[in-house]
Chain A
Amino acid sequence: MQLELSAEDAAFRQEMRTFFTTQVPQEIRDAVAERRELTKDQVVASQRVLNAAGLAVPHWPEEWGGRGWSALRRHIWHEEMQRACVPTPLAFNASMVGPVIAAFGSQEQKERFLPRTANLDIWWSQGFSEPDAGSDLASLRTTAVREGDEFVVNGQKTWTTLGQYGDWIFNLVRTDPEAKKQAGISFLLIDMTTPGVTVRPIELIDGGHEVNEVWFEDVRVPAENLVGELNKGWDYAKFLLGNERVGVAPVGSTKRVLAQAKDYARSVSVAGGLTLLDDPLTVARIAELENELLALELTALRVVAHSADGKPHPASSVLKLKGTELQQAVSELVVDLAGPASLASGAGDADSDLAGWARHATPVYLNLRKASIYGGSNEIQRQIIAKTILGL
């Protein structure tokens, strides 16, 4: 056992820190720090800066831009990015479709898609969920019927995050209606400008527009856009969801917000010339959250130190479960620090004398309720722990 980073890893961390804090445009990092919604351009610009330096997709195969780093280095890369308020590379590209194409796609698909996916020249959306296929993803009904050199796709996807920006969408589609649920599903790439694709916005409870419904009406997709083998899509989806889970505990950004919360608390005065940071209940709550985050971070480190073969550690469900709970708890703390000022959520800077962080607090809190629902809900994570770890 050994606690310190090796000299090389420590130097690596410093290198990452320097890069992220000096090379990514300050205004993008400010937007992240203030928990503002990023524009498409900001997400693209930031990923391109990373990609140019070989830092957008270090976990991909080296042939396609990967760096062959250890799991620990990938972890350090990810944490330092969050600490520096650098937007993490678009997950749909970097951790979902990219690795799937790299692992299962044809040589043509790799050449055609991977460089543009890494550079965010293509913005990918994820077309998995349907109205009746949420946690039970395998019951999906969108069909793709082979006609000559094409698939004809019909059906509806929902919850498509940032689908309004999407150039392409990777879908799970039913290609064999006769087969048992999981067995008849394929993984298909669809250009969202194809006739018959319609994207409709869904408004969420924070007032924002980040998810969409996507409708497919007789959409003709070249057969060459099938990834891997016909009817093997479920295997690729499981591979993808496993990757999704690993990066999902946002320890770095939760730590950062908790550190910011202390500044927020210091800026709110209470009776007797004191501030909220003098309030015993507030500091006890912060201390407790800091400790839980420490436990989570150390668990993440144990997991990365262990997963030498690149397979997700069974405890990665712990990271998703606890990571999202703590992310939500910290957002709730910030609302409470804001107190009555949190009500001014609809005021612009010019219409309000209340601090921006306080005005954003509740929309962020409400929005983050999603974190325990998507990417395999926390109930599904508990089931994974119970079944695959505890054998229950």
Chain B
Amino acid sequence: MDFTYDEEQQALREAVRGLVGKSYSDFENRRRTVAEDPGYDELLWSRLAEMGVLGLPFDEAYGGMGAGPVEVGIVAQEIGRVLAPEPFLTSVVLAGGVVALAGTEEQKSSLLEAVGSGETVLAFAHAEPGTRWVSTAQDVTASGDGDGWTLTGVKEPVPFGARADQLVVSARLGDGGTALFLVAGDAPGLTRSGYPTFDGGRAARVTLDGTPATPLGSATDASAQIARALDAARIAACNEAIGAMQYALSATSEYLSSRKQFGVPLKTFQALTFRAADMYVSLELATSVATWATMVLASGTDAEVAEAAARAGLQVSRASRHVGQEAIQLHGGIAMTAEYSVGSYTSHLTALDHLFGDGQLHLSTLAAGIGDHDEVDPLA
């Protein structure tokens, strides 16, 4: 048992930190980048591709690096630390993850290579108005057979849905199962309305109207693969949140040391330093559970991964709110401004919390399962 990174993992962390840090440790630069479409830096995206980061989780056979969840977690943390707006989580980890789990060999080699090289941005169009964080499709339906499939319905919100070159779309089959399809960005009957999200990200409404689509893998029920890909993305999102919380806490500590009121630095007031200490407690506990879940993802069964994702998701959701809200409060008014970074960290933590499922969803999942075990044993 070992919770520390090995040398290679540390080297990956330093390399990614250097690259994303160069672009975004200047917060003004992030503000400028998210102010304009596509909402991220395409040059940095290609640098990340060159470094192998965009192909990190994919098999070497598909042009990837064959790395595991721990390495993905390292990248996610570094992205979170500087609030890099690049769609690593949603395009590479989630949409790429869905392709890796459900695609045919041919689809995997062509698509994953294109994602890894930065040539193709993928979006997973899965959420539908009126549904919450389920692994099935409801109102978007697929009809056809053999090669000729078409999709109809609305997907929203779709992260980076307007920018994506290709969409992976979940749709309900006649028999009630949920299958996956590929839809080209320029497909007829595809309408995309993109908009910014409150944290500077991008999302879209995607309307399909008899839109031609190719099955991803076979056109059969893929809800198990969707669930697994969502769990992997949840765990990566936890890592991204950990990175963001680390920054929010260190910015808060620094601010308490430098900001003076009543002729003394704010850190003179124990009422504030103890709260910073409590933020640290939340962050450490969340880090432990997220790290554990990352390791479970590397070797666990689907059921084990689902449970670990829920446990990490709950802990990180609670910690994100605590750390994010306190970071603003302890800064006072300055943290309410768009120009100062801390409020944006809280915004992004809020977005991460609602992307794939919030603490309450995870709590319900866990509450429903308490009768299944006596004790919780993380090493079992």
Name the distance in Å between A185's Cβ and chain B's nearest Cβ. 16
- In the bound complex, do residue A352 and residue B339 qualify as a contact, i.e. CB atoms below 8 Å apart? no
Is the CB of B354 closer than 8 A to any CB of chain A?
yes
Is the CB of B224 closer than 8 A to any CB of chain A?
no
List A contacts of B154 (CB < 8 A): 353
Q: Which residue of A lies closest to B359 (CB)?
A: A336
List A contacts of B133 (CB < 8 A): 339-340
Q: Which of B295-339 contact A (CB under 8 A)?
A: 321, 325, 328-329, 332-333, 335-339
Please pick, from A342, A350, A363, A377, the residue contacting B354 in the complex, using a CB distance under 8 A: A342
- In the bound complex, do residue A340 and residue B343 qualify as a contact, i.e. CB atoms below 8 Å apart? no
- In the bound complex, do residue B358 and residue A336 qualify as a contact, i.e. CB atoms below 8 Å apart? yes
Please pick, from A282, A338, A343, the residue contacting B203 in the complex, using a CB distance under 8 A: A343
Stretch at the interface among B48-56, B123-131, B234-242, B285-293: B123-131
- In the bound complex, do residue A339 and residue B333 qualify as a contact, i.e. CB atoms below 8 Å apart? no
Q: Which of A288-319 contact B (CB under 8 A)?
A: none
Is the CB of B344 closer than 8 A to any CB of chain A?
yes
List B contacts of A335 (CB < 8 A): 350, 354
List A contacts of B261 (CB < 8 A): 134-136, 139
- In the bound complex, do residue A205 and residue B346 qualify as a contact, i.e. CB atoms below 8 Å apart? yes
Cβ-closest 5 pairs across A and B: A205-B343, A351-B193, A346-B196, A346-B195, A136-B261
List B contacts of A104 (CB < 8 A): none
Is the CB of B164 closer than 8 A to any CB of chain A?
no
List A contacts of B347 (CB < 8 A): 205, 362, 366
Subset of 25 A-B contacts with CB under 8 Å: A132-B260, A139-B261, A159-B333, A202-B339, A205-B338, A269-B130, A280-B364, A281-B364, A281-B367, A282-B360, A339-B132, A343-B157, A343-B354, A344-B197, A345-B196, A345-B197, A347-B203, A348-B195, A351-B205, A362-B198, A369-B325, A369-B336, A372-B329, A377-B329, A383-B271
List B contacts of A370 (CB < 8 A): 333, 336
List B contacts of A347 (CB < 8 A): 193, 195, 203, 205
Q: Which of B240-274 contact A (CB under 8 A)?
A: 260-263, 269, 271-272
In the assembly, what is the distance between CA of A352 and CA of B196, in Å?
Answer: 12
Is the CB of A374 closer than 8 A to any CB of chain B?
yes
List A contacts of B198 (CB < 8 A): 206-207, 342-343, 345-346, 362-363, 366
Q: Which of B190-206 contact A (CB under 8 A)?
A: 193, 195-198, 201, 203, 205
In the assembly, what is the distance between CA of A206 and CA of B347, in Å?
Answer: 9
List B contacts of A281 (CB < 8 A): 360, 363-364, 367
Is the CB of A271 closer than 8 A to any CB of chain B?
yes
Q: Which residue of A lies closest to B126 (CB)?
A: A340
Given contacts A281-B363, A352-B205, A378-B329, 14 further A-B contacts (CB under 8 A): A132-B260, A205-B335, A269-B130, A269-B131, A328-B325, A336-B354, A343-B355, A344-B157, A353-B154, A353-B156, A353-B205, A354-B205, A362-B351, A366-B343
Name the distance in Å between A105's Cβ and chain B's nearest Cβ. 29
Is the CB of A231 closer than 8 A to any CB of chain B?
no
Instruction: Give per-residue flags for B346-378: 1 if the beta carbon is below 8 A from chain A beta carbons, else 0.
Output: 110011001100101001100100000000000
- In the bound complex, do residue B195 and residue A136 qualify as a contact, i.e. CB atoms below 8 Å apart? no
Q: Which residue of A lies closest to B367 (CB)?
A: A281
Is the CB of A244 closer than 8 A to any CB of chain B?
no
Size range of the interface on A? 35 or more
Instruction: Give per-residue flags for A151-166: 1 if the beta carbon is below 8 A from chain B beta carbons, else 0.
Output: 0000000110000000
Name the distance in Å between B209's Cβ and chain A's nearest Cβ. 13
List A contacts of B333 (CB < 8 A): 129, 134, 158-159, 370, 373-374
List B contacts of A332 (CB < 8 A): 321
In the assembly, what is the distance between CA of A362 and CA of B328, in Å?
Answer: 15
Is the CB of A279 closer than 8 A to any CB of chain B?
yes
Is the CB of B227 closer than 8 A to any CB of chain A?
no
In the assembly, what is the distance between CA of A97 and CA of B337, in Å?
Answer: 26
Q: Say whether, besides A129-B333, A352-B205, A344 and B134 are in contact (CB < 8 Å).
A: no
- In the bound complex, do residue A354 and residue B332 qualify as a contact, i.e. CB atoms below 8 Å apart? no
Q: Which residue of B lies closest to A276 (CB)?
A: B132
Name the distance in Å between B173's Cβ and chain A's nearest Cβ. 18
In the assembly, what is the distance between CA of A269 and CA of B138, in Å?
Answer: 11
In the assembly, what is the distance between CA of A136 and CA of B157, in Å?
Answer: 44
- In the bound complex, do residue A340 and residue B328 qualify as a contact, i.e. CB atoms below 8 Å apart? no
- In the bound complex, do residue B337 and residue A205 qualify as a contact, i.e. CB atoms below 8 Å apart? yes
List B contacts of A268 (CB < 8 A): 130, 132
Name the distance in Å between A100's Cβ and chain B's nearest Cβ. 23
In the assembly, what is the distance between CA of A379 and CA of B134, in Å?
Answer: 41
Name the distance in Å between A116's Cβ and chain B's nearest Cβ. 30
- In the bound complex, do residue A339 and residue B332 qualify as a contact, i.e. CB atoms below 8 Å apart? no
List A contacts of B337 (CB < 8 A): 202-205
Name the distance in Å between A158's Cβ and chain B's nearest Cβ. 8
In the assembly, what is the distance between CA of A382 and CA of B129, in Å?
Answer: 43
Name the distance in Å between A293's Cβ and chain B's nearest Cβ. 19
Instruction: Give per-residue flags for B190-232: 1 if the beta carbon is below 8 A from chain A beta carbons, else 0.
Output: 0001011110010101000000000000000000000000000
- In the bound complex, do residue A270 and residue B262 qualify as a contact, i.e. CB atoms below 8 Å apart? no
- In the bound complex, do residue A336 and residue B360 qualify as a contact, i.e. CB atoms below 8 Å apart? yes
Q: Which of B113-162 contact A (CB under 8 A)?
A: 127, 129-134, 154, 156-157, 159
List B contacts of A204 (CB < 8 A): 336-338, 343
In the assembly, what is the distance between CA of A139 and CA of B261, in Å?
Answer: 8
- In the bound complex, do residue B336 and residue A340 qualify as a contact, i.e. CB atoms below 8 Å apart? no
In the assembly, what is the distance between CA of A341 and CA of B343, in Å?
Answer: 21
> Max chain B CB contacts within 10 Å: which of A271, A342, A365?
A342
In the assembly, what is the distance between CA of A279 and CA of B260, in Å?
Answer: 46
- In the bound complex, do residue A344 and residue B203 qualify as a contact, i.e. CB atoms below 8 Å apart? yes
In the assembly, what is the distance between CA of A175 and CA of B371, in Å?
Answer: 71
Please pick, from A336, A340, A352, the residue contacting B355 in the complex, using a CB distance under 8 A: A340
In the assembly, what is the distance between CA of A285 and CA of B359, in Å?
Answer: 13
Q: Which residue of B lies closest to A372 (CB)?
A: B329
List B contacts of A344 (CB < 8 A): 156-157, 195, 197, 203, 205
Q: Which residue of A lies closest to B198 (CB)?
A: A345
Name the distance in Å between B339's Cβ and chain A's nearest Cβ. 7
- In the bound complex, do residue B325 and residue A341 qualify as a contact, i.e. CB atoms below 8 Å apart? no
Q: Say whether, besides A352-B156, A369-B346, A340 and B329 are in contact (CB < 8 Å).
A: no
Q: Which residue of B lies closest to A202 (CB)?
A: B337
Q: Which residue of B lies closest to A159 (CB)?
A: B333
> Max chain A CB contacts within 10 Å: which of B260, B325, B354?
B354
List A contacts of B196 (CB < 8 A): 345-346
In the assembly, what is the distance between CA of A207 and CA of B157, in Å?
Answer: 19
- In the bound complex, do residue A382 and residue B271 qualify as a contact, i.e. CB atoms below 8 Å apart? yes
- In the bound complex, do residue A340 and residue B157 qualify as a contact, i.e. CB atoms below 8 Å apart? yes
List B contacts of A352 (CB < 8 A): 156, 193, 195, 205
